[in-house]
Amino acid sequence: MNFVRLGLWLLRRERSSGEWRVLLLALIIGVGSVATTGFLGDRIKRAMSEQGANFLGADLLVSSPRPITHWPQHALATSRAIEFTSMVAQGDAFQLATLRAVDAAYPLRGSVRIAARPFEPGVARPALPPRGSIYVDGTLLPLLNAQVGDRVQIGEAPFTIAGVVAEEPGQLGGVFGLAPRVFLRADEVAATRVLQPGSRVSYLYQFAGEAKPLAVFGAALKPALDSTQRLIGSREGVETLRGAFVNADKYIQLTALVSLLLSVAAIAIAAHRHALRHYDQAALLRCFGATTAQLRTLYAVQLLTLGLLGSLLGIAIGAAMQQGLALMILPDAATRLPALGSAPVGVALVSGLLALAGASLPALLRLIRVSPLRVLRRELPPLPLAAWISVAVSGSALLALVAWVADDAKLVAVFVGALAGLAAVLVLLARLTLLGGQAVQKLSHGPLRFGLAQLLRHRFDSTVQLGAFTLALFLVALLALVRSDLVDSWRAQLPPDAPNYFLVNIAPQQQADVAAFLQQHRLQASALYPMVRGRLVSKNDAPIAATLPPEARDNATLRRELNLTWTATLPANNVILAGQWHGSQRSAIISVESGMAERLKLAVGDSLGFQVGDQMLSARIGSIRSVKWDSMQPNFFVIFAPGQLDALPASAIASVHVSANQAGVLPGFVKAFPGITVLALDKLIANIEAVFAQIIGAIQLLLGFLLAAGMAVVVATLLASLDARQQEAVLLRTLGAQRAWLAKSLWSEFIALGLLAGLLASVCAEIAMALIAHRLFELPPRPHPWLWLVLPTAGALLVGLSGWLTTRQITRVPPMQSIRALG
């Protein structure tokens, strides 16, 4: 018989052994988690690449805050669109929407699909709706209680909803349902009267054609554009988004790798025990004439079979799970993503085999080299297997894997460092906790005392189990807290009369009417602040970037247009930190927010230049002030002295508090001022929360793998100590211990372990939450009493159950039979 067949035969006969099962299970969990994220990431990346030029809807896109009238000579296909936000209303319902007013040529590349109902695939057709009609995103309909065919109001013009946008270029899905898409005709924008001087608008100019004329055109155009205008090639468009996604994807893959790491720990422990239990078998086979090479074949075949089986099952689970994940992250686009790719199968298979090989080869190499003499001299110890060899080998194998998957050495170094740090802290905490357990153990008696003694005696095992399970519980709890707690506690510390609506895009001629409306309905509102959008371009006549050290140049404040305002009264919640508030002086003086001043190294007396539209504006910094950003008032980085912005088109912004019994006023406001955008902060926050919940929910799904891997570690370590436990149990039974006594001692051991893991995880989660709350939201730490109840309970339940199921057999064996089995 060849040893391939023999290996398979023996494997089949031993398939119900605990070690093989744990090994297989751990492998399935680890590979499943890697495959899930791998598959989904690959599908999204391919969706992006496949869209190519379709992504922009054109080969070249120019975006500008104002119309561009002069273009270089060209013979390219063109399309123009205007994009802006506005309210869409039906009856008393109203909703903010992103409107794109298009011409008949849109889109130049790719297609727009229009359906009769939401969630239908629709048919490809131009985005230009029939006269008097609009196409809307499916998410808009329930928000307006509307259906296709209904009449809705945009600004001062009525429109009929003629269809639902099922697909458009550049859209992967409506993660951000903040302002759903509406397509309308460019020649019907004027009728809405939404666009006023100072309104926030993007003029989108699209071009398509042969590569060469496109390049000539692009080169000629570029110098003509100012800092507020952008030129985007189809490749850059995709690459920008793709880059952002690839970065996010890396972190998600690393999360999956934590599960794989825990699985590897479980595999290493199970493989170690498997080897220990098979030294006799290997020695016997050597007696029967098997050579080292033949034994190597035998065990390699077994390992490879398990590796393939576990990896393939893991990949199958990953393929099923990734669709669930896709539906959570991209509810609209999940069905339109490309089919499962083959590349992640390879990655998952290699990581599975690598993890298995790294974790189990050291143990199996020892097995192959066993002396046949062991059959005669049972006391002959198997070659000692230092645990650290397994750990080191599988650790380096995984490090290679992490580096390969992440393709980012720095990230890997940080990741490994953080993980090692966390592991060290956990081990330290686990040790300390076990020391505490010693005190409790001394006070206890009976089976509880014995159970705790077991926990303390197998100190290495207990530390590993405690560490692994604490890690899993901690990460799960942390995400749950971040999801539910942070936004809540931030909201809770807002005063009850904090503004909850923003009124945006108030035209100058409307300001008096709006003020009167608010007063009439006794709505508590902030001042009306005129708003002009401009970009900071220079400091003391030098380009602003040149005045900064290289690492400070990539600053969000420099990349986007700022909202500029003027006022003579220092807004509430603003405090002057340096210089003097300009008051009603009418000269070129500004006040700058302190954070911005710090980031851009600005001081009182500096002169700043702004580009506003096609004009340049310059002013001296008269004061630096702090702003309370979470006050829900309109807040500004830069405030001019009165009169400085008068010549510029400005719309105004205000915040207002609308109490629950005043809410009926709002539909009246929207009807009276259809061009004004009403932003509901509650909705905004709820939207952000929903997006947050989607993404965190997806990560929590991955943490399910982590929790399962943590349990696999617990089971593997318990299996490793099963023989010794059995021996002890037999001894205790012969000494008169009842079966129930043994059961109680086992339960006390595992429940204690689970409780400790839950407590440790609670400590870690509280500390982490306090840090996050402080750093991100500047909130004081807040205890979470339920955490201290839920985590230990969950830990006791999960560890108790897996521990009991693994070890209960030792209470069942009658002492006589056990003694014989131990022979």
Partner 1 sequence: MTPTDPAQFPIVAARALSQRVATADGPLVILSEVELAVKAGETLAITGASGSGKSTLLGLLAGLDQPSSGELFLLGQNLNALDEDARARLRAGRIGFVFQSFQLLPALTALENILLPLELAGRPDARERAAHWLDRVGITARAGHTPRQLSGGEQQRVAIARAFATDPEIVFADEPTGNLDADTGARIIDLLFELNASAHTTLILVTHDDALAARCQRRIHLVAGRMNEVAAA
In angstroms, the Cα distances linking 580 to 583, 645, 745 are: 9, 20, 74
Q: How far is the CB of 782 from partner 1 (least distance, A)?
A: 56
> Scanning the structure block, which residue is given the tokens 């020391």?
435
Residue 101 to residue 81: CA distance in whole angstroms = 5
- Going by C-alpha positions, the residue among 529, 552, 526 that lies closest to residue 539 is 552
Number of residues that bind partner 1 (CB under 8 A): 29
CB nearer to partner 1: give 10 or 709: 10
CB nearer to partner 1: give 739 or 820: 820
Q: Which residues contact 648 (CB under 8 A, 6 or more apart)?
A: 198, 532, 612, 613, 615, 617
Q: How far is the CB of 16 from partner 1 (least distance, A)?
A: 8
Q: Which of 104, 190, 220, 293 binds partner 1 (CB under 8 A)?
A: 293
Tokens standing for residue 48: 């992006």
Tokens standing for residue 798: 């999960």
Q: Which of 70, 73, 289, 339 binds partner 1 (CB under 8 A)?
A: 289
H/E element, 729: helix 722-734
* Site membership for partner 1, residue 821 (CB under 8 A): yes
CB nearer to partner 1: give 275 or 536: 275
CB nearer to partner 1: give 14 or 606: 14
363 and 385 Cβ atoms separated by less than 8 Å: yes
Q: Which of 147, 240, 291, 493 binds partner 1 (CB under 8 A)?
A: 291
Q: How far is the CB of 725 from partner 1 (least distance, A)?
A: 18
* Site membership for partner 1, residue 439 (CB under 8 A): no
Task: Using CB atoms within 10 Å of the CB of residue 527, give its burial: 0 to 12 exposed, 13 to 18 middle, 19+ buried.
Answer: middle
Quote the distance between the C-alpha of residue 12 and its chain's center: 42
For the chain, what is the radius of gyration of the CA atoms? 33
Task: Using CB atoms within 10 Å of the CB of residue 208, give its burial: 0 to 12 exposed, 13 to 18 middle, 19+ buried.
Answer: buried
Tokens standing for residue 547: 């005045």
Per CB under 8 A, contacts with partner 1 among 543-562 are: none
Interaction mask 137-156, partner 1, x per CB under 8 A = --------------------
Interaction mask 762-801, partner 1, x per CB under 8 A = ----------------------------------------
Q: How far is the CB of 726 from partner 1 (least distance, A)?
A: 13
CB nearer to partner 1: give 376 or 663: 376
Q: How far is the CB of 373 from partner 1 (least distance, A)?
A: 5
Interaction mask 494-523, partner 1, x per CB under 8 A = ------------------------------
Q: How far is the CB of 17 from partner 1 (least distance, A)?
A: 7
Strands 157-167 and 133-137, bridge-based pairing: parallel
Sole window of 124-132, 289-297, 518-526, 559-567 interacting with partner 1 (rule: CB under 8 A): 289-297
CB nearer to partner 1: give 285 or 652: 285
Strands 93-102 and 112-115, bridge-based pairing: unpaired
Q: How far is the CB of 336 from partner 1 (least distance, A)?
A: 51
Per CB under 8 A, contacts with partner 1 among 348-387 are: 371-373, 375-378
Strands 93-102 and 181-185, bridge-based pairing: parallel
Length of the chain in terms of residues written: 823
Q: Which residues contact 489 (CB under 8 A, 6 or more apart)?
A: 773, 777, 779, 782
CB nearer to partner 1: give 12 or 117: 12
Q: How far is the CB of 389 from partner 1 (least distance, A)?
A: 23
Residue 622 to residue 582: CA distance in whole angstroms = 7
Residue 75 to residue 428: CA distance in whole angstroms = 71
CB nearer to partner 1: give 162 or 380: 380
Tokens standing for residue 244: 């952002």
Residue 444 to residue 701: CA distance in whole angstroms = 39
CB nearer to partner 1: give 302 or 351: 302
Q: At what angle do helices 387-406 and 343-368 cross, to 10 degrees?
A: 160
Report helix, strand and coil shares of the chain as percent, to nearest 5. 55, 15, 25
Q: Which of 113, 185, 272, 286 binds partner 1 (CB under 8 A)?
A: 286
CB nearer to partner 1: give 780 or 814: 814
Tokens standing for residue 7: 């290996």
Q: Which of 285, 506, 654, 757 binds partner 1 (CB under 8 A)?
A: 285
Interaction mask 265-284, partner 1, x per CB under 8 A = ---------------xx--x
Q: How far is the CB of 284 from partner 1 (least distance, A)?
A: 5
CB nearer to partner 1: give 550 or 823: 823
Q: What is the dihedral of CA 273, 275, 277, 278, to 10 degrees?
A: 160
Q: How far is the CB of 303 from partner 1 (least distance, A)?
A: 17
Per CB under 8 A, contacts with partner 1 among 741-760 are: none
Q: How far is the CB of 774 from partner 1 (least distance, A)?
A: 57
Residue 308 to residue 319: CA distance in whole angstroms = 16
705 and 254 Cβ atoms separated by less than 8 Å: no
Per CB under 8 A, contacts with partner 1 among 1-20 are: 1, 6, 9-10, 13-14, 17
* Site membership for partner 1, residue 729 (CB under 8 A): no
CB nearer to partner 1: give 205 or 279: 279
Residue 817 to residue 726: CA distance in whole angstroms = 11
CB nearer to partner 1: give 292 or 569: 292
Q: How far is the CB of 273 from partner 1 (least distance, A)?
A: 14
* Site membership for partner 1, residue 292 (CB under 8 A): yes
Phi, psi of 604 (to 5 degrees): -55, 135
Q: How far is the CB of 281 from partner 1 (least distance, A)?
A: 6
In angstroms, the Cα distances linking 226 to 66, 82, 438, 562 are: 11, 19, 72, 15
Q: Which of 288, 381, 384, 443 binds partner 1 (CB under 8 A)?
A: 288
Sole window of 286-294, 452-460, 565-573, 801-809 interacting with partner 1 (rule: CB under 8 A): 286-294
Q: How far is the CB of 721 from partner 1 (least distance, A)?
A: 19
Per CB under 8 A, contacts with partner 1 among 17-36 are: 17
Q: How far is the CB of 292 from partner 1 (least distance, A)?
A: 6
CB nearer to partner 1: give 370 or 397: 370
CB nearer to partner 1: give 292 or 659: 292
Residue 62 to residue 222: CA distance in whole angstroms = 10
Q: How far is the CB of 289 from partner 1 (least distance, A)?
A: 3
DSSP state of 823: -
Q: How far is the CB of 811 from partner 1 (least distance, A)?
A: 18
Q: How far is the CB of 294 from partner 1 (least distance, A)?
A: 8
* Site membership for partner 1, residue 254 (CB under 8 A): no
651 and 589 Cβ atoms separated by less than 8 Å: no
Report whether the peptide linkage leading into residue 381 is cis, meaning its omega lies within 30 degrees of zero: no
Query: Per-residue b/e over 278-309, b at no fewer than 16 CB within 10 Å?
Result: bbeebbebbeeebeeebbbbbbbbbbeebbee
**What does the DSSP assignment read for 770-796?**
HHHHHHHH-PPP---HHHHHHHHHHHH
Q: Which of 244, 287, 320, 616 binds partner 1 (CB under 8 A)?
A: 287
**Interacting residues with partner 1 (CB under 8 A):** 1, 6, 9-10, 13-14, 17, 280-281, 284-293, 371-373, 375-378, 820-821, 823
